[in-house]
Amino acid sequence: MRTGLAFSVKTQSRIAFSSEGMTFGSKETLQCALSGWSIIKNVEFKKSTSNKTRLTVVCVQHDNQTRPCLWRLHAAKSKRLGGVWKISTITGRHTCTNPILSASHRNCTSKFICQFIIGTLRQQLDLKPKEIITRISSKFDVKVSYMKAWDARRKAIRSVFGSYEESYSSLYRMMEAIRLAVPGSVYNIQVTQGMRFKSIFWSFGPSIVGWKYCRPILCLDGTFLLGKYRGTLLAAVGVDGNGGLYPLAFVVVESESIESWIWFLQMLHDLIVSTHSRPDLCIISNKHAGLIRGCCEIFPWAAHRHCLRHLRENFKKVLRRLAIPNCDAVCDKMYWAGNTDDIKIHERHMRDIQNIKKEAYDWLMERDRTKWALTYDGGFRYGVMTTNASECFNGVLRRARRLPIQGLIMSIYYNLVSLFIKRTTKVEQWTASDGSAFVPHTKAVLELAGRQARRSPQPTQINNHEFKVFDMSCSSFHFVITSPQTCIYSCGHPQIYHMPSKHAVTALSSRRWDHNAFVSTYYSLVCYKENAILLCVFTENVKPVRISAPF
């Protein structure tokens, strides 16, 4: 008995519908299998009788006056076989077969395409109509219109997740299924007094456990949803030791408002314990009023830093209001001043801005330089200057923004599984091919610092612990080395990036001390591997959650 619809091209070519007695689990399965066979054979049919218990189809040329085709198929629902559909009679044979394939086919309906792509859609939730057109063309040599492909995709999404309304109504049950399938996952659904959906917060268990091995940074940003009821997706994304994205938590809210950001931060604090157990937490975001207020009230101990790219956009608006010519050049100076780790370069660019327009300089000085300038940061942001991490992950989901809310959540789930699998594969390759104690990006930075240190002049030793180091530009830096793990330096690079600079390598080499001791443990391969082990257990033991409507 054929209880499902699995019709690849090879399977279709074997389905000749020439033998009576074939059975199917449902009428829809029978119809779609018949459509697939007719497309492969380049014949067309039309319904003669169709109701809840019977289906009769005849060739589309059945009523042709000059050359009728008498092929006819009758199927009925069999009570004796438990309600399955059985082909009872097939009379005649197709005499209208055309050896030339037509560009379109009447039986290649949106309903048939829906059943054809539904398995792919479960794995690729952001399947586009153009991709559907390509798949149908390559499998059946039939060209379908964009609107038909779009309608088929809409029907497939509804078949998997239900309608937009059903997706919201069964959301609680879906999140409970995820919580049971993915240990450690948390969520919270907020509704109005009339039991209408208002917002949802969720985070997957492996992301929560593994984030403690990442740098203590969270980039917060949002993106618009494009479904029937719109809304906004807010995301908190971390950065691992090798500079990779590490999505931690998500929220879907009605709009990006003060209330929604405060609620998001409150859920981060209440449901994810690791966010308030890390005293060196740094939150990087734009200057939204809700974020500023929420960080002050909910994470008062955390360092709140502003995204330099968002600040540049706001600064450009100020320059235009001040009617300053060549705004882009002035904005570049502001960006270089914020992104440099050299205090002298920072001050030079700030003086240039002051000479161009004092009002623009005053506007920047009012924005607390510890919030946006790397040289005044104090090492909280680990060199991460923008919220590009969260924006990049939002970009990955850009094609899933039109899905119902359950489809959006599952798209994030599958993207995380794919990301974690790639990460575990990489760490296995690094461990097998390299004996370094650090991740590849950090290893490359340390090797560059070592090469530059070898070209630097010999440091001047002031006493047993103090050194003065010169670089090729004749700039001098003061170092006080009291132990192999303790160093006081005038060069801001080690404190900002939590790894030694070329000047620190030069000074430490003069004492024959290992400069790797000054590298943060977040950059170590051991820490990265611990995270990968957790992700490996997640990807091996947790089966993908399948959600079908009705849930």
The reported pLDDT for the residue numbered 308 is 94
From residue 400, alpha-carbon distances to 384, 394, 472 in Å are: 27, 10, 51
Number of residues in the chain:
551
- Nearest Cα neighbor of 86 from 147, 149, 136, 19 is 19
Which single residue is written with the structure tokens 């995380």? 416
- Nearest Cα neighbor of 401 from 190, 46, 126, 56 is 126
The reported pLDDT for the residue numbered 192 is 86
- CB hemisphere CA count around 324 (13 angstroms): 23
Report, in this order, helix, strand and coil percent for the chain, each rounded to 5. Answer: 50, 20, 35
Dihedral of alpha carbons 157, 549, 224, 231, sign = positive
Contact, 29 vs 3, CB < 8 A?
yes
pTM of the model: 0.79
The reported pLDDT for the residue numbered 62 is 86
- φ and ψ of 177, to 5 deg: -65, -40
- Nearest Cα neighbor of 281 from 259, 305, 247 is 305
The reported pLDDT for the residue numbered 479 is 65
Distance of CA 448 to the CA centre of its chain: 32
Is the domain 168-307+387-415 a CATH 1.10.3470 member? no
- Nearest Cα neighbor of 197 from 220, 231, 163, 223 is 231
For strand 84-91 and strand 72-78, is the pairing parallel, antiparallel, or unpaired?
Answer: antiparallel
The reported pLDDT for the residue numbered 388 is 86
Rounded to a whole number of angstroms, the CA Rg of the chain reads 32
As a whole number of angstroms, the distance between CA 136 and CA 113 comes to 8
Angle, helices 327-339 vs 308-321, to 10°: value is: 150
From residue 235, alpha-carbon distances to 223, 251, 433, 467 in Å are: 9, 6, 35, 46
- Can you name the residues that pair with 78 across neighbouring β-strands? 84
- Say which amino acid occupies 48: S
128-165 confidence digits (pLDDT tens): 899 999 998 888 888 889 999 999 998 888 888 778 88
The reported pLDDT for the residue numbered 244 is 87
Q: Mean pLDDT of successive 10-residue segments in the chain (551 residues)?
A: 40 50 87 86 86 90 85 89 88 75 78 89 82 89 89 87 82 90 90 87 90 92 85 91 90 92 94 87 92 93 93 93 90 93 90 93 92 91 89 76 85 83 82 81 87 75 70 64 61 79 75 78 86 64 42 28
The reported pLDDT for the residue numbered 279 is 86
From residue 286, alpha-carbon distances to 146, 267, 292, 312, 510 in Å are: 39, 19, 9, 11, 43
Contact, 374 vs 307, CB < 8 A?
no
- Can you name the residues that pair with 284 across neighbouring β-strands? 219, 305
- Nearest Cα neighbor of 268 from 304, 286, 294 is 294
Apex 292 CA angle, 289 and 294, nearest 5: 100
From residue 441, alpha-carbon distances to 120, 393, 427 in Å are: 36, 20, 13
- Nearest Cα neighbor of 413 from 547, 284, 285, 528 is 547
The SS3 of residue 137 is helix
The SS3 of residue 551 is coil
Tokens of 380: 């909280």
What H or E segment, with its residue span, contains residue 461? strand 460-461
- Can you name the residues that pair with 305 across neighbouring β-strands? 284
As a whole number of angstroms, the distance between CA 59 and CA 65 comes to 13
Apex 260 CA angle, 177 and 297, nearest 5: 110
